A and B are shown apart, each in its own frame.
Chain A
Amino acid sequence: MFQVLPQPIEDILRVLEYWDHILAGFLTTMELYGGAIVMGFFLGLLLALLRQYGGFIISRIATGYIEFIRGTPLLAQLFFIYFLPYSMNAILEAQGLFPIPIGKWSFQTDIIILDRIITYTIFDHRMLVGLLTLALNSAAYQAEYIRGAIKSVGTGQLLAAQSLGMSRLASIRHVVLPQALRRVIPAWSNEAAYLPKYTVVVFFIGVVDLFGKAHFIVANIFRTLTTYCIIALIFLALITIISKVLDFVHKRTSIPGL
């Protein structure tokens, strides 16, 4: 018997039967997102500082990195990092050297909630490649936001700090950055809201994130539209919360009178 009339409620319940998979996928997505945004922030901060204050050569290297990352597809970066160790192994083996043990290690854990056992892959080589790619990519974008904020603070602040006898580094650390990091929040929110959606590229290297789980559910019960709508709503909710939180942080950290 073919399904003649749409049965939205039944379809939704049918998909939600897979809540344990959706939860595992969500955790994976969050792990990628959280890891990439944090690592990307620190690397981005470093890149921004090097680009802004690094002097002729170093600032050019930082600029080159940023432009390269922003100018090439994320998917290409992902594949590059994913396949790089395999290519290297071919060389290492030809030289009679010990190859990189790809995929030899993987940390999994069973999470038991209600009647379900969720086998969750905390970390494996695919996750590592995904995290690394997303962090290296996000860093370039975050660096540009941070640098914009640093520039907007102005050189007068740095001059004033140095005129007190503070070193350049101390001046940047205690005077420029506290202001730049406050100012960067609105622009940085863009990156924080984009990145969860970009994490889905890891699907292509076999990481089963929220998107991968959607694929899995569809393959099992063929509720394509319903499944992807639910996944989309989860992303929507996540990004709404992130935006609200960052708005709140921005208000709380704003400088009185400005």
Chain B
Amino acid sequence: MLRIVDGWKSYGDLQVLKGVSFEVGEQEVKVIFGPSGSGKSTLLRCINMLDPLDKGEVHLREQNLMAPGINLNAIRARIGMVFQHFNLFAHLKAIDNVSIGLRQVKKLPKEEARAKALEMLNRVKMAEWVDHYPAQLSGGQQQRVGIARALSMEPDVILFDEPTSALDPELIGEVLQVMLDIAKSGTTMIVVTHEMGFARAVASEMLFLDNGVIVERGTPQHFFVSPKSERVKQFLKQLDILYGSHKELLKRSNEEESK
């Protein structure tokens, strides 16, 4: 359904993406992970044309998004985006954050847009908070509004850019739960995340991006049981320290002590 072929992107002298190719099927959840600075956010921005590729192709439902003269606004309306730092519109209440796209882009009448927005907020369990402004909400609540905002446009695919990495640990769960719900309802998703529990639950395939290249790809099972490259093994080890059962951390500190 979404296909990116040999995508290249640079900023000045810095080559960020170096020939990235993959394909996302209907109702599939793809997880992308990799070290900071490897180009994950850039890749997502290239997919929804906020910052188009220098070279390569992006196809959405057999439509070439890189074709000259294409209406990028119309394309972006079909690709949802959830941001690491939420990027909610600070001057708008939760409900208006969700309905603004319906009003401005889909040109729905006010009442219809409001009803739809309420439905979306309900879906992310934020119905009680419709009249709150972003600054009055916790990070987890803000991110759920962000997800409702993306859902409201009924996009073909939603891109998540580390949706939980700016959250306090106790708020991560509520956001992941919402993401699991919408994944299970058949939404096509590309999720940049290091939440391996989430990946294990819903990802059909995981891509390890390093230095602008997809170094390794496979099912969650593959990565957790038998990753091939050293780079991936090393990275997953570090993740285990950060997110896992802390076994690794304990083992290391024991080793340090016994020295």
> Residues on A close to B: CB < 8 A?
156-157, 159-167, 170, 174-175, 178-179, 182, 255-258
- Complex Cα distance A179/B45, Å? 24
Q: Contact between A160 and B87 (Cβ–Cβ < 8 Å)?
A: yes
> Residues on B close to A: CB < 8 A?
45, 48, 50, 73-81, 83, 85, 87-91, 100-101, 104-105, 132-137, 149-150, 153
Q: Contact between A165 and B133 (Cβ–Cβ < 8 Å)?
A: no
Q: Contact between A166 and B101 (Cβ–Cβ < 8 Å)?
A: yes
Number of A-B pairs, beta carbon distance below 8 Å:
79
Which residues of chain A have C-beta atoms less than 8 A from B77's C-beta? 164-165
- The binding surface of chain A is classed by DSSP as helix
Chosen A-B contacts, 21 in total, with CB atoms closer than 8 Å, are: A157-B89, A159-B81, A159-B87, A160-B81, A160-B83, A161-B100, A162-B73, A164-B77, A164-B100, A165-B73, A165-B76, A165-B77, A165-B153, A166-B105, A167-B73, A174-B104, A175-B91, A179-B89, A179-B90, A179-B91, A255-B133
- Complex Cα distance A258/B77, Å? 29
Q: How far is the CB of A158 from chain B (nearest CB, A)?
A: 9
Which residues of chain B have C-beta atoms less than 8 A from A162's C-beta? 50, 73, 76
- Complex Cα distance A1/B144, Å? 86
Which residues of chain A have C-beta atoms less than 8 A from B45's C-beta? 159
- Complex Cα distance A197/B139, Å? 47
Q: Contact between B76 and A163 (Cβ–Cβ < 8 Å)?
A: yes
Which residues of chain A have C-beta atoms less than 8 A from B83's C-beta? 156, 159-160
Q: How far is the CB of A150 from chain B (nearest CB, A)?
A: 14
Which 4 residue pairs across A and B have the least CB separation, nearest first? Answer: A165-B77, A257-B135, A257-B136, A164-B101
